[in-house]
Structure 1
């Protein structure tokens, strides 16, 4: 699909925290560097393994380039301070009295550290659009459970 096609222009841009953008940029740079080394090696040797790796890296660079180009920071969005949105840090309480604090992020940023949770994860999906004080039911592969949204705050 072309970058300027109507389907692309109407999609919501990925939301990346500033830390996430830096992490993805560093990943992009590492992959680009490895790709350059492979292209040099291909001048000397045309192994199927190098060709396959080159193709995979080209796809990864293209995907990361699109995400980095199109991404917006949470602070660039109109924020409704009363509801949970992507880019928010949230705290939830479980029925056993434990609490968990996590940052809801775009899936591409979720692997960055233990604190980040993909917006597609069951817990994050359950609290998106909800307000502090709301009790939500989370449907996960391990079964359904409930929690209460204690707070949300917008990060950059």
Structure 2
């Protein structure tokens, strides 16, 4: 028996995945099938790049549907704001200053399924999150990054 990976996420993150899944199943899948039908009408399939492209897109869409179904089925909802208000845990937003120059950064630590660095949401599997998890306000933490070690001080946890 294989254990399936659990995907920690917020309720909003799960809802976003469900919306994407619904869109892929009800809209994209039909669009791709229509593209395949049109490409077939162009004749010889062995030299039909439009048909090949449509089939590749179909494989991508079907793969994404399978991935989303698995993530939703194995979702573990993070209770936002649960637990100690001073300790960095999954679902919390942590602000820290980079030492020694004091540049402030703030991230919400989420599961890999809903990580989005452009929205300041980082995966709990990222080097920064791994280093910060379990730490408290005021703690100095060394974060190992591909660019080298960085020392930070946690200034808030929400």
TM, length-normalised to structure 2:
0.78
Larger Rg, first or second structure (1 or 2):
2
Alpha-carbon offset, residue 90 of structure 1: 0.9
* 1:45 and 2:50 correspond: no
Given the alignment, which residue of 106, 128, 134 partners 2:133? Answer: 128
* 1:54 and 2:47 correspond: no
SS at match of 2:144: strand
Change beyond 3 A, Cα 1:112–1:43: farther
Which deviations, in whole Å up to 9, do the C-alpha atoms of 1:60-114 show, x marking residues without a partner?
Answer: 01101111222122118x7455532221111112221232221011122112742
Gaps of 5+ in 1: none
Given the alignment, which residue of 29, 32, 43 partners 1:35? Answer: 29
Structure 1 segment 104-119 matched on structure 2, within 5 A: 104-111=109-116, 113-119=118-124
Once superposed, what is the RMSD of the aligned Cα atoms? Answer: 2.4
Change beyond 3 A, Cα 1:124–1:133: same
TM, length-normalised to structure 1:
0.79
Task: Check whether the contact 1:20–1:112 (CA below 8 A) recurs between aligned residues.
Answer: no
Task: Check whether the contact 1:14–1:70 (CA below 8 A) recurs between aligned residues.
Answer: yes
